[in-house]
């Protein structure tokens, strides 16, 4: 096996898979358990893949691989999300335009054509990454949401929901993006954590009110009385129409020192006959009476000057008070009729959303710019005049000083104006969470606009009930985040005022008229003909009979359209294209009044398209009906946690509304990957390693495994660290390779099949991988585990086989429950057991002169590695393939020439010897404590010691196990002390067969006893080192150095050599024999052991370095330098 970096080996294995169509063959293998249905959520191809995509792709690979090995057929088809703001924003930048006006000037057809051409710009980069991370998926045969067949299925879905009377048009307060000029769903913003912490200036503003009828006598005539209201969005103040208070909240009126004279823009509290306020200035001068302020009693701490409480009251006592408007707004006539909505403006109203946690306990209400405001406006029929246009710019109805300004840019103007008029009480810095557009990063604002909605309120009970049928991992999401989201979900806004998306299939019988202002808010659901909706030119569509139809297919459109052929022929379109602008030109004849019906201008929220993926990829119900029915619902889906409010949610809504059942049975939810310091990963900050650099250093298996076994798979955030990947690389990848290399040193090649047709059944192996047939051939059927070695009774063989089947059992249970963390974390534990315990304690068996011992160790190790490669396959597909190709027999590879065509290993419960597993666990704990005692005494394990005593052992430990402990900790004798009170130097009972030399030199030399305990077990180690023990330690040290030289020069266990050793530097003075004499003595006394341990025909000490085939210098622990030379045997 060529010694090449593992990342390079991964690339060779990729070529092996491609050349031999391993993925395709895995789909063709027998599937006795039937279909396992997996839905792959379509990503946008508008950017390069990142760690989040690698995470999602890995879990979407692990489970399908596992299920395939378990006997299922798992179809895996890639898909692309093609529509929506992501690509539109990119195309606007590419074309050098911005905003809807410039798009329409350029032409919708040209704009959408550019979107179509650019939507898969990064598809090749995605394909490169998906292939490199080892994911098996039908990438080339992908579905696309922009395909007409897909879009037709989306229309069909909307028609099903329409027919159930679950779609309506209405006005609601929605998050709105002024750059994209379209509403944005709450879950779209929450999904990508688009709320950002911003520090802005909040203000407390004074609203001048009429004198309270039961006010105290100490308020002089004309003394100004103000209600203090706090807001973090000063730009909404020109739209103020009401103040809100809590009816049961305690409020106070306080007197403060008199301020400078105050002028109110829309002026004085003296009521006129035909107007509520006159236009004269109000003077704050009160002949010593001061200024009076009203606020919540618990918020008095916000006041900035001395005050005196002059009156206390409940919020309900303030209800009905009238106040002067801050600004003059066109459309709110102060000389309005008594029945006009304007007569209900500029009053105090009760509201249950008012709190005293912050602010003043009095809420400024602008109706159209907040959900609570909007609901209050609906309840009390407050007037509304929208002051912002579609770009977030104040319109001509706004106060003159801000007309034409962008809403955020107006705030300084507004604040300066209020200060100049004495109406600004306080300005303060305030940090809060603010929503930004998930695609263009523009600050959003709430706006009451008309849109189309799915009536979630009527589906909610069904959604909650069907959630009970879904298995969530982690489980807490089921009744936590997802259930809470369902309970609090508003009606779903499915319309967007954009271009590149599936058009909404609604046609209305209308006549185009000029826009008419509306002063009164009405419930959106209750809008009745003539309905007010946006027209293509920005007007309002009125008239006609108001009939609305929903078209659910191409065929229905062709049948009902009056100009279908004419439209598509005029644009020279060979195939039907449902996109704008062509579909906008199609007219339908109203079946109620014979008038013309025109399509409404909005397009579908792209999440409707993503949610339609289970049926739309099949063009259901127009094609593939049986195939869809076999594949609905999904057995498994996986995405990151924000999709609980996005793709998981919308699929749940569509599936429940149309099919009456949830669209998936099991869902795995991951967390979010952050930079190592916990911040968001940022290319500009360069606070994370480039994925390609990481893969080129460690290979992708280490990255995959780290992600699959980290907290991110438990829906927690992961602070990504390269050190963790490096740790996996060393603890799993390199350790497994070391085990494999050790096995191959001693495993003789199996003779390949005879030349001829049989040999041709085997595909070519990746370059650098040698013949896979090693050790004894096992016959285990198609991809099976093979026969468990049964003739070995060695304790280590029985133990590692028990550990293997225990691991098979536990990994199977974990993966069956989609607990990839629990299943995956068993792998490093098993590799550690295999390497640092089984092989470490079996080394001499591999070198044994007894054939039965050698074959027992080889057969067991071959079986373990072969089976372990199958356990690795879902998590670390490259390492699994590498191991499989190196240890699997030719006979087995006839049917399973790749591990990914093999079956999952079956657990043999009879092999799980629980008593032995517990005994070995205790033995390893004893070893661990003993090593700790050696470390404390600063004595290395190579130095033999006389004895080890063990207390509090509750198990009966066999002599074989005690001998194993003695060998591992390098002591002559292990004793069990039956009583905790026994002294470490007496009263013990010797268990096992002590070495004949166990008492030699006892009690001599330096040292004493070191005791260690874990709270249950207690060990005592005699650390005295006699001269004889010291010589034996030197012999072991020489053995280690000579074997290191063998390794350096590339010798194998089959290479016998003559070894020469020469002392080339004097050692520091010691009381023991030193220099050449000491080494000579050790070589003489331990000649037989040395020859066996270093595979040498002879070992001798020479006076000086000689001419040899290989040589190397080494240094002993006491700093003596030795020359080690070797000649061929």
Segment 455-472, tens digit of pLDDT: 999 999 999 999 999 999
At 188, the pLDDT band (50, 70, 90 cuts) reads confident
The candidate with the shortest Cα–Cα distance to 677, out of 669, 685, 665, is: 685
Residue 882, domain CATH? 1.10.730.10
pLDDT tens-digit series, residues 46-97: 888 999 999 999 999 999 999 999 999 999 999 999 999 889 999 999 999 9
Cα atoms found within 13 Å of the Cα of residue 217, Cβ hemisphere only:
0
Hey, CA dihedral for 748, 752, 753, 754, is it positive or negative? negative
Helices first, then strands: H and E counts in the chain: 36, 37
C-alpha span between 976 and 991 (Å, rounded): 6
Residues 510 and 619 both lie in one domain: no
Distance CA 196, CA 612 (A): 31
Residue 959 · residue 975 · CB < 8 Å: no
How high is the pLDDT of residue 72?
98
Is the domain of 326 the same as that of 362? yes
Q: Which residues form the catalytic set? A: 42, 81, 607, 643, 647, 680, 683
Alpha carbons 213 and 839: distance in angstroms, whole number: 94
Looking at the domain assignment, is residue 616 inside a domain?
A: yes
pLDDT at residue 212 tops 60: no
Closest C-alpha to 116, from 82, 86, 148, 143: 82
Q: Final residue of a domain: which of 405, 435, 465?
A: 435
Q: What are phi and psi of 915, to 5 degrees?
A: -65, -45
Task: Say if residue 649's pLDDT is above 60.
Answer: yes
Tens digit of each residue's pLDDT (9 = 90 or more) over 876-927? 999 999 999 998 765 555 557 899 999 999 999 999 999 999 999 999 999 9
Among 996, 1025, 1054, give the residue marking a domain's end.
1025
Distance CA 294, CA 315 (A): 11
Sheet holding 1018-1022, edge to edge: 989-990, 971-977, 945-951, 1018-1022, 1009-1013
pLDDT recorded at residue 511: 58
Question: At which of 391, 417, 435 does a domain end?
Answer: 435
Q: Which domain holds residue 959?
A: 930-1025
Please tell me whether the overall predicted TM-score, pTM, comes out greater than 0.95 for this model. Answer: no
Give per-residue pLDDT as tens, 723-746.
999 999 999 999 999 999 999 988
- Whether residues 727 and 761 share a domain: the answer is yes
Alpha carbons 274 and 1073: distance in angstroms, whole number: 121
Residue 450 in domain: no
CATH number at residue 616: 3.40.50.620
Contact present, 14 and 134 (Cβ < 8 Å) = yes
In a shared domain, residues 738 and 863: yes
Please choose, from the candidates 82, 67, 69, 74, the residue with its C-alpha nearest in 3D space to the C-alpha of residue 39. 74
795 closest CA partner among 1019, 968, 952: 968
Please indicate, yes or no, whether residues 853 and 972 belong to a single structural domain of this protein. no
Q: What is the DSSP secondary structure assignment for residue 665, as one 8-state letter? A: S
> Three-class SS of residue 42?
coil
3-class SS at 1074? Answer: coil
C-alpha to C-alpha distance for 541 and 547, rounded to whole angstroms: 12
Q: What pLDDT does residue 889 have?
A: 64
Q: Is residue 482 assigned to a domain?
A: no
Domain holding 1048: CATH number?
3.30.2320
Averaged pLDDT score across all residues of the chain = 85
My answer on whether 886 and 945 are in the same domain is no
Same domain? For 637 and 583 the reply is no
Quick check: is 920 in a domain? no
- What's the CATH number where 270 sits? 3.90.740.10
Q: What is the dihedral of CA 128, 131, 137, 138, to 10 degrees?
A: 50
Q: According to the annotation, is 975 in a ligand binding site?
A: no
Which pLDDT score, from 0 to 100, does residue 987 have? Answer: 43
In a domain, 1009, yes or no: yes
Task: Pinpoint the alpha helices (H) of 1015-1125.
Answer: 1027-1049, 1075-1085, 1087-1094
Residue 493 falls inside a structural domain = no
Confidence band of 979 (pLDDT split at 50, 70, 90): low
Give pairs for 188-192: CB < 8 Å, separation 24+. Answer: 188/438, 188/607, 188/646, 189/435, 189/436, 189/437, 189/438, 189/444, 190/642, 190/645, 191/438, 191/642, 191/643, 191/645, 191/646, 192/438, 192/642
Residue 483 lies in a domain: no
Q: What is the pLDDT of residue 784?
A: 36
Lowest mean pLDDT among 51-55, 338-342, 358-362, 609-613: 338-342
What Cα–Cα distance (Å) separates residue 694 from each residue in 498, 702, 1020? Answer: 40, 10, 46
Rounded distance between C-alpha atoms, residue 946 and residue 1025, angstroms: 8
> Do residues 831 and 753 both lie within one domain?
yes
Q: How far apart are CA 844 and CA 1064, in angstroms?
A: 31
Query: Phi/psi at 44 (nearest 5 deg)?
Result: -80, 140
Question: Residue 530: is its pLDDT beyond 80?
Answer: no
| Cα–Cα distance measured from residue 662 to residue 641, given in angstroms and rounded to the nearest whole number | 18
Give the rounded percent of residues in the chain with a pLDDT score beyond 70: 84
Q: Would you say residue 538 has pLDDT above 80? A: no
Q: Does 731 share its domain with 783?
A: yes
> Over 70: is that where the pLDDT of 423 sits?
yes
Sorting pLDDT into bands at 50, 70 and 90, what band is 259?
low
Judged against a pLDDT cut of 90, whether residue 789 lies above it is answered with no
Do 371 and 245 lie in one domain? The reply is yes
Clarify whether residues 1038 and 940 are in a common domain. Answer: no
Tell me if 440 is assigned to some domain. no
Do 175 and 468 touch, CB atoms closer than 8 A?
A: no
Q: What integer pLDDT is reported at residue 440 of this predicted model?
A: 85
How far is residue 1124's CA from residue 1109's CA, in Å, rounded to a whole number?
Answer: 11
The DSSP result for 949-974, as a single string, is EEE---S---HHHHHHHHHHHTEEEE
| pLDDT given at position 772 | 37
With b meaning 16 or more CB within 10 Å and e meaning fewer, what string describes 400-420?
eebbebebbebbebbbebbee
For residues 141 and 123, what is the distance between their CA atoms, to the nearest angstrom? 13
Residues 559 and 620 in one domain: no
Mean pLDDT calculated for residue range 226-255: 96
Q: What is the count of structural domains for the chain? A: 6
Which segment of 55-59, 287-291, 297-301, 1016-1020 scores lowest on mean pLDDT?
Answer: 287-291
């Amino acid at each position: 096996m060529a010694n090449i970096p593992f990342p390079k080996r991964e690339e060779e294995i990729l070529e092996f898979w491609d050349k031999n169509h391993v993925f395709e063959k895995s789909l063709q293998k027998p599937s006795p358990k039937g279909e396992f249905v997996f839905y792959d959520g379509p990503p946008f191809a508008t950017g390069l893949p990142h760690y989040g995509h690698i995470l999602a792709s890995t879990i979407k690979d692990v489970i399908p691989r596992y299920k395939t090995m378990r006997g299922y057929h798992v179809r895996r088809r890639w898909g692309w999300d093609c529509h929506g703001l992501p690509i539109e924003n990119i195309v606007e930048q590419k074309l050098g335009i911005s905003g809807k006006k410039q798009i329409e000037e350029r032409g919708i057809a040209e704009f959408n054509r550019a979107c179509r051409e650019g939507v898969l710009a990064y598809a090749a980069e995605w394909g490169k990454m998906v292939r490199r991370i080892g994911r098996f998926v039908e990438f080339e045969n992908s579905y696309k949401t922009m395909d007409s067949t897909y879009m037709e299925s989306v229309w069909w879905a909307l028609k099903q929901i329409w027919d159930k009377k679950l779609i309506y048009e209405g006005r609601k307060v929605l998050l709105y993006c002024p750059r994209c000029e379209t509403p944005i769903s709450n879950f779209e913003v929450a999904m990508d954590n688009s709320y950002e912490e911003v520090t802005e200036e909040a203000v407390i503003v004074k609203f001048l009110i009429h004198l309270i009828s039961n006010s105290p006598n100490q308020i002089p005539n004309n003394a100004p009385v103000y209600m203090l209201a706090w807001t973090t969005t000063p730009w909404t103040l020109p739209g103020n129409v009401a103040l809100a208070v809590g009816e049961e909240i305690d409020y106070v009126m306080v007197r403060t020192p008199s301020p400078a004279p105050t002028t109110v823009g829309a002026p004085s509290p003296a009521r006129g006959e035909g107007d509520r306020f006159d236009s004269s200035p109000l003077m704050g001068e009160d002949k010593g009476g001061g200024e009076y302020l009203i606020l919540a009693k618990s918020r008095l701490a916000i006041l900035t000057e001395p005050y005196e409480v002059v009156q206390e009251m409940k919020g309900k006592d303030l209800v009905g008070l009238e106040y002067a408007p801050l600004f003059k707004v066109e459309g709110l006539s102060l000389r309005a009729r008594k029945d006009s909505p304007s007569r209900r403006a500029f009053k105090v109203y009760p509201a249950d959303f008012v709190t005293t946690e912050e602010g003043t306990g009095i809420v400024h209400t602008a109706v159209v710019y907040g959900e609570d405001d909007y609901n209050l406006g609906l309840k009390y029929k407050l007037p509304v005049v929208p002051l912002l246009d579609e770009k977030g710019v104040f319109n001509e109805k706004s106060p003159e000083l801000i007309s034409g300004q962008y809403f955020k840019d107006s705030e300084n103007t507004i604040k300066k104006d209020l200060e100049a008029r004495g109406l600004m009480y306080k300005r303060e810095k305030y940090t809060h969470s603010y929503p930004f557009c998930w695609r263009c990063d523009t600050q959003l604002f709430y706006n009451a606009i008309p849109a189309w909605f799915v009536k979630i309120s009527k589906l909610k009970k069904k959604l909650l009930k069907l959630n009970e049928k879904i298995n969530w991992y982690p489980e807490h999401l089921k009744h936590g985040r997802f259930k809470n989201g369902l309970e609090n979900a508003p009606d779903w806004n499915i319309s967007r005022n954009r271009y590149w998306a599936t058009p909404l299939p609604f046609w209305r019988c209308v006549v185009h008229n000029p826009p008419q202002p509306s002063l009164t808010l009405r419930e959106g659901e209750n809008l009745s003909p003539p309905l007010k909706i946006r027209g293509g030119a920005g007007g309002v569509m009125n008239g006609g009979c108001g009939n609305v139809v929903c078209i659910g297919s191409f065929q229905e459109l062709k049948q009902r359209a009056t100009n279908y052929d004419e439209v598509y022929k005029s644009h020279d379109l060979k195939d039907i294209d449902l996109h704008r602008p062509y579909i906008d030109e199609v007219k339908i004849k109203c079946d109620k009044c014979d008038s013309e019906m025109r399509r409404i201008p909005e397009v579908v929220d792209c999440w409707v398209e993503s949610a339609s993926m289970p049926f739309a990829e099949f063009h259901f119900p127009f094609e593939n009906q049986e195939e869809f029915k076999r594949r609905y619902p999904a057995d498994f889906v996986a995405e990151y946690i924000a999709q609980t409010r996005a793709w998981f949610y919308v699929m749940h809504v569509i599936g429940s509304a149309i099919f009456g059942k949830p669209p998936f049975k099991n869902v795995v939810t991951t967390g979010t990957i952050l930079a190592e310091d916990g911040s968001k990963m940022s290319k500009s900050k360069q606070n994370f390693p480039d994925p390609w650099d990481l893969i080129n250093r460690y290979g992708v298996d280490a990255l995959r495994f780290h992600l699959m076994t980290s907290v991110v798979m438990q829906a927690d955030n992961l602070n990504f660290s390269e050190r963790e990947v490096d740790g996996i690389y060393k603890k799993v990848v390199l350790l497994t390779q070391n085990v494999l290399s050790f096995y191959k040193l001693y495993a003789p090649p199996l003779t390949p099949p005879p030349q001829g047709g049989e040999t041709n059944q085997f595909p070519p192996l990746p370059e650098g991988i040698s013949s896979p047939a090693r050790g004894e051939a096992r016959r285990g059927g198609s991809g099976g585990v093979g026969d468990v070695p049964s003739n070995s009774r060695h304790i280590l063989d029985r133990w590692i086989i028990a550990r293997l089947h225990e691991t098979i059992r536990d990994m199977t249970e974990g993966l069956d429950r989609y607990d990839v963390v629990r299943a995956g974390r068993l792998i490093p534990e098993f590799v550690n057991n295999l390497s640092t315990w089984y092989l470490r304690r079996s080394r001499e068996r591999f070198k044994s002169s007894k054939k039965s011992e050698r074959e027992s160790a080889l057969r067991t190790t071959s079986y373990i590695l072969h089976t372990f490669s199958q356990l690795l396959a879902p998590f670390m597909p490259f390492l699994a393939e590498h191991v499989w190709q190196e240890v699997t027999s030719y006979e087995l590879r006839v049917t399973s020439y790749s591990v990914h065509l093999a079956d999952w290993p079956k657990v043999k419960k009879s092999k799980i010897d629980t008593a032995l597993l517990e005994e070995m666990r205790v033995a390893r704990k004893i070893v661990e404590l003993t090593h700790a005692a050696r470390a404390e005494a600063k004595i290395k394990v190579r130095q033999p010691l006389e004895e080890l005593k063990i207390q509090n052992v509750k198990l009966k430990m066999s002599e074989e196990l005690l001998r194993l402990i003695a060998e591992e900790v390098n002591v002559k004798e292990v004793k069990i002390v039956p009583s905790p009170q026994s002294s470490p130097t007496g009263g013990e009972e010797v268990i096992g067969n002590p070495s004949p030399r166990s008492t030699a030199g006892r009690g001599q030399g330096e040292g004493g006893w070191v005791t260690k305990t874990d709270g249950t077990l207690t060990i005592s180690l005699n650390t005295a080192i006699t001269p004889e023990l010291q010589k034996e330690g030197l012999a072991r040290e020489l053995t280690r150095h000579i074997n290191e030289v063998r390794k350096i020069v590339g010798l194998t266990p089959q290479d016998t050599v003559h070894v020469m050793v020469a002392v080339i530097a004097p050692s520091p003075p010691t009381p023991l024999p030193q220099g050449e004499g000491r080494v000579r003595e050790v070589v003489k006394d331990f000649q037989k052991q040395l020859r066996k341990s270093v595979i040498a025909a002879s070992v001798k000490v020479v006076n000086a370095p000689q001419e040899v085939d290989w040589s190397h210098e080494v240094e002993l622990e006491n700093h003596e330098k030795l020359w080690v030379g070797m000649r061929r045997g």
